[in-house]
């Protein structure tokens, strides 16, 4: 086995009206050990009940979380920003510096955290456009 016990108890998580067990494990991780040494990261292993939803919530790109919930990938690795490109050759770019300069961005939404005590700070983004089945979608 390549993972080991994280020391955190299992949890029941709910996403998109699905509830299921999550087992919290640890494993060594590095994108490229020549550029960055491997570090032990804590992550959740979803049970089958959670794998049957739309899946968008499972990007896992949360940085700021309340202390009482489990660690996040971005919170453990020190990355400051990311870019997701879901076109033909899908890419995820992580950066330790801001990737958007100036004010051409929408700030993190802390409203749900402040008002309703949501345990994470939500990202929002303004899309420049959408292409569906190869055709531009009129906004």
Residue-wise pLDDT tens digits, 9-41 = 998 887 777 888 989 999 998 887 777 788 999
pLDDT band at 92 (very low <50, low <70, confident <90, very high): confident
92 and 127 co-located in one domain: yes
Cα separations in angstroms, 97 against 74, 83, 100: 13, 12, 9
94 and 115 co-located in one domain: yes
What are the beta bridge partners of residue 131? 136
Residue 68 inside a domain? The answer is yes
Q: Domain of residue 88: give its range.
A: 60-133
66 and 107 co-located in one domain: yes
Whether pTM > 0.75 for this model: the answer is no
Determine the pLDDT at residue 27.
95
Determine the pLDDT at residue 64.
76
Determine the pLDDT at residue 37.
84
105 and 91 co-located in one domain: yes
């Amino acid at each position: 086995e390549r993972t080991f016990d994280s020391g955190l108890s299992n949890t029941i998580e709910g996403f998109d009206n699905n509830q299921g067990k999550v087992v919290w494990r640890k494993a060594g991780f590095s994108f490229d050990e020549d550029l960055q040494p491997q570090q032990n990261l804590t992550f959740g292993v979803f049970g089958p009940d959670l794998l049957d939803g739309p899946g968008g919530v499972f990007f896992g790109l949360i940085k700021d979380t309340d202390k009482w919930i489990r660690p996040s990938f971005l919170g453990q690795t020190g990355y400051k920003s990311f870019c997701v490109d879901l076109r033909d050759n899908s890419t995820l770019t992580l950066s330790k510096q801001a990737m958007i300069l100036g004010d051409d961005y929408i700030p993190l939404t802390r409203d749900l955290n402040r008002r309703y005590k949501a345990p994470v700070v939500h990202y929002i983004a303004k899309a420049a456009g959408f292409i569906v089945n190869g055709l531009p979608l009129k906004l």
